[in-house]
Amino acid sequence: MATPVFVAVDTPDLEAATSMVGSLQMPGLGVKLGLEFFCAHGAAGVRSVVEAAGSAPLFLDLKFHDIPNTVAGAVRATVGLGAALLNVHAGGGPEMMRAAAAAAAEEAERLGVPRPAMLAVTVLTSLDDADLVAVGQAPPVREQVVRLAKLAKECGMDGVVCSAAEISAIREACGPTFQLVVPGIRPAGAAVGDQKRVMTPAQAMAAGATSLVVGRPITRADEPRAAAEAVVAEARGAAPPA
């Protein structure tokens, strides 16, 4: 069964990150590290967090977006860090996504480690229709997300990162086994922050999400472990039968 929740540890503070993930070890909860952490601490920092996290799976959320050879090289350089999930921007195009998928498989085989699931980022959850127009893309967001998800599947991606609002449309377009990793998740009553397309954990899992990404509602809670336990329980309780 896929890990239902990844906690987003978005901090440049290595001690804070390792302490947080160490205190949050529990079944059903993985760890997501992004650009803020990686730019501050690099591969060595990732290894420190992986060690502190125990058996918790890692989502290394670096959103590679460059020419195909560069992205393939970046993927090869990160496979050995032990991530269960890696991602690239679908907007990088078909050749880039194919190169990333091939690099992940080849490097995992060379190192004798499990291949990370490769995800494509569709449209960032901080963007809405007006933002797409501003950058020269055609709205509505939902149609752009589905278009990119179908392209990602054709290019060998294992799934996509999308908002909860697009889950049902992607499920219909890409089938039941395509992984949908969903950020912008806010438990009932939590602040929305800079996210524009959000749902609760129960709503997203019931709609067909594979895994959820939850950051501030856990990491900035008065009791982070209790908050994490509540989110995991809600996600597991709402997930459709496997």
- Are 131 and 144 in contact by the 8 Å Cβ rule? The answer is no
User: To the nearest 10°, the Cα dihedral for 149, 153, 57, 211?
Assistant: 40
CA-wise closest residue to 63 among 126, 1, 113: 126
Give the rounded distance of the alpha carbon of 44 from its chain centre. 21
Find all residues with CB under 8 Å of 233, minimum gap 6, and list them.
none
Active-site residue flag, 63: yes
User: To the nearest 10°, the Cα dihedral for 69, 63, 75, 167?
Assistant: -110
| 63, 150, 153, 196: the active-site residue | 63
Rounded CA-CA distance 146/141 in Å is 9
Q: What phi and psi values does residue 203 have, to the nearest 5 degrees?
A: -65, -45
CA-wise closest residue to 120 among 107, 136, 138, 104: 104
Q: What phi and psi values does residue 153 have, to the nearest 5 degrees?
A: -65, -45
Rounded CA-CA distance 66/61 in Å is 15
CA-wise closest residue to 159 among 182, 138, 126, 143: 182
**Active-site amino acid positions:** 63
